[in-house]
Amino acid sequence: MTQQPVTAVYLTAPATQIVTNELRTADHITETGGILLGHHTHDTVTVHHAGTPGPAAVRTPTFFLRDLAHAQALADEAFANDGSVWVGEWHTHPTSRPIPSARDAATYGQLLNDPELGFHSVIAVIFARHAGRWEGAAWACRLGRIEPVRMQLSGSTG
């Protein structure tokens, strides 16, 4: 069955807590982030688990590469616990806006083009610093298209 295009992303309380803890402790100079795990139902992706960068992550002011072993361990645990699968990634842009960069778009294209991964769409949640606060935006990436989608963080007001 073909999945509907994503129009909304919902981060559950546990996923929101992981992201907000990482944002609170981030150095605001280098990018940080992690994987997103959950379920795609109808036009909504529900994120049940969010990853942290992991101890071997590469972090620079304009680039983030997750610790693959750390991400895989979280993915294995989440799948065993509730059937959550890899739906996308979150990361920060400490020196720019919360929109996918050209490098981000290329990465999402590679993920979508990998038949072993089986992505129909990739969810990208990006946070950027503005006026001393983190602001986030969600994006649905499909082959050839990256579109903004509604995002709700459980327990947040915006």
Q: Which residues are catalytic?
A: 31
Q: Using an 8 Å Cβ cutoff, are 14 and 82 in contact?
A: no
Q: Nearest to residue 38, comparing CAs of 51, 48, 25?
A: 48
Q: Using an 8 Å Cβ cutoff, are 70 and 51 in contact?
A: yes
Rounded CA-CA distance 93/96 in Å is 5
Task: Fill in the amino acid letter for 84.
Answer: S
Q: Using an 8 Å Cβ cutoff, are 12 and 20 in contact?
A: no
Q: Which two tokens stand for residue 113?
A: 């083009």
Residue with tokens 């083009």: 113
- From the CA atom positions of the chain, what is the Rg in Å? 14
